[in-house]
């Protein structure tokens, strides 16, 4: 083979190799560009979601805070003005202290729509769940047991075995006791006492269970429950009350 031919052959091989290299590089470049693009999109998506979640949590917390301001406001009867009435003229009406409510009921009625608004605006956030649970508790205080049971059930359905879900089931069972639905309430209290955690103390659930037994006329079971509180939780805040309840049951000849 002539030297010129060998030279052209080497050039052709070099050009082919170079072409293959650039082609492979271009293929890899497109793959890497695609991978980087996907990674950037994912990072942006996570960032947007985190911002959206933080923004939503912030707004839901702000709504709940507005409701809690009302719920925690002082109750003070309206006071008469310091200036005495002009002779022959009716006395000026009493005026409430700014930021206060004349009665507990008035305060609860003012807080309720704010709690419901916070719960409905952001139902799945912690603040929204708390607002709905608080609304149930307010409804109990207002004597609206049916509406309270509905709010508690909604929280239980949304949060399941979460803290608010279990607290809502506890609240629902309390309402059932008030409604005379003792068997349902007792079943719930028993289940919660068996699965209670630090965030939902066993002694508190047992106290509610004992009271439910008393309301149902099941004094033997009530006595056993109150005794368990004294035996297992002697330093509990409920221990003294459980002891009194137990003594009452024994005094009644249970």
Predicted confidence (pLDDT) at residue 60 exceeds the cutoff of 90 = no
Q: What's the pLDDT score for residue 250?
A: 87
Contact in structure between 239 and 233 (CB atoms under 8 Å): yes
In terms of domains, do 227 and 207 share one? yes
In terms of domains, do 110 and 133 share one? yes
Answer whether residue 169 is part of any domain: yes
Q: What is the pTM of this model?
A: 0.69
Answer whether residue 28 is part of any domain: no
End position of a domain, from candidates 163, 179, 195: 179
In terms of domains, do 156 and 217 share one? no
Over residues 100-116, the pLDDT tens digits come to 899 999 999 999 999 99
Answer whether residue 8 is part of any domain: no
In terms of domains, do 172 and 186 share one? no
Contact in structure between 201 and 232 (CB atoms under 8 Å): no
In terms of domains, do 197 and 236 share one? yes
Predicted confidence (pLDDT) at residue 202 exceeds the cutoff of 80 = yes
Answer whether residue 195 is part of any domain: yes
Cβ-based neighbours of 156, under 8 Å, separated by 6 or more: 165, 168, 169, 172
Segment 7-20 mean pLDDT = 48
Task: Give dist(CA 107, CA 88) in Å, integer.
Answer: 35
Contacts from 145-150 at CB under 8 Å and sequence distance 24+? 145/175, 145/178, 145/179, 148/175, 149/175, 149/176, 149/179
In terms of domains, do 242 and 149 share one? no
In terms of domains, do 189 and 247 share one? yes
Q: Could you count the other beta carbons within 10 Å of the beta carbon of residue 247?
A: 12
In terms of domains, do 168 and 189 share one? no
Answer whether residue 94 is part of any domain: no
End position of a domain, from candidates 139, 156, 179: 179
End position of a domain, from candidates 179, 210, 235: 179
Contact in structure between 198 and 206 (CB atoms under 8 Å): no
**CA-CA-CA-CA dihedral for 141, 145, 147, 152, to nearest 10:** 80
Segment 171-198 mean pLDDT = 92
In terms of domains, do 189 and 163 share one? no
Answer whether residue 32 is part of any domain: no
In terms of domains, do 148 and 104 share one? yes
Answer whether residue 89 is part of any domain: no
Least confident of 16-20, 71-75, 108-112, 119-123: 16-20
Q: Could you count the other beta carbons within 10 Å of the beta carbon of residue 233?
A: 18
Count of domains in the chain? 2
Greater pLDDT, 131 or 57: 131
Answer whether residue 122 is part of any domain: yes
- Burial class, 13, CB count within 10 angstroms (exposed 0-12 / middle 13-18 / buried 19+): exposed
CATH number of the domain enclosing 134: 1.25.40.10
Contact in structure between 109 and 95 (CB atoms under 8 Å): no
In terms of domains, do 149 and 129 share one? yes
In terms of domains, do 170 and 147 share one? yes
Q: What domain range includes position 162?
A: 57-73+99-179
């Amino acid at each position: 083979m002539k030297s010129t031919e060998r030279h052209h052959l080497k050039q052709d091989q070099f050009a082919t190799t170079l072409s293959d290299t650039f082609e492979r590089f271009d293929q890899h470049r497109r793959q890497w560009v695609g991978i980087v693009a996907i990674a950037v999109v994912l990072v942006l998506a996570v960032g947007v979601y985190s911002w959206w979640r933080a923004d939503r949590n912030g707004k839901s917390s702000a709504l709940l805070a507005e409701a809690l301001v009302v719920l925690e406001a002082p109750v003070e009867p309206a006071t008469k003005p310091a200036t005495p009435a002009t002779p022959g003229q009716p006395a000026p009406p009493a005026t409430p202290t700014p930021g206060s409510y004349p009665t507990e009921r008035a305060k609860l009625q003012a807080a309720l729509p704010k709690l419901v608004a916070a719960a409905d605006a952001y139902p799945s956030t912690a603040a929204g769940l708390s607002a709905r649970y608080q609304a149930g508790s307010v409804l109990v205080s207002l004597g609206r047991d049916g509406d309270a049971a509905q709010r508690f059930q909604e929280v239980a359905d949304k949060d399941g075995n979460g803290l608010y879900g279990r607290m809502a089931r506890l609240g629902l069972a309390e309402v059932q006791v008030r409604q005379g639905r003792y068997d349902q309430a007792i079943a719930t209290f028993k289940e919660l006492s068996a699965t209670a955690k630090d965030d939902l103390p066993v002694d508190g659930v047992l106290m509610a269970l004992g009271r439910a037994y008393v309301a149902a006329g099941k004094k033997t079971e009530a006595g056993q429950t109150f005794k368990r509180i004294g035996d297992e939780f002697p330093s509990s805040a409920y221990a003294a009350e459980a002891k009194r309840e137990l003594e009452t049951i024994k005094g009644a000849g249970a």
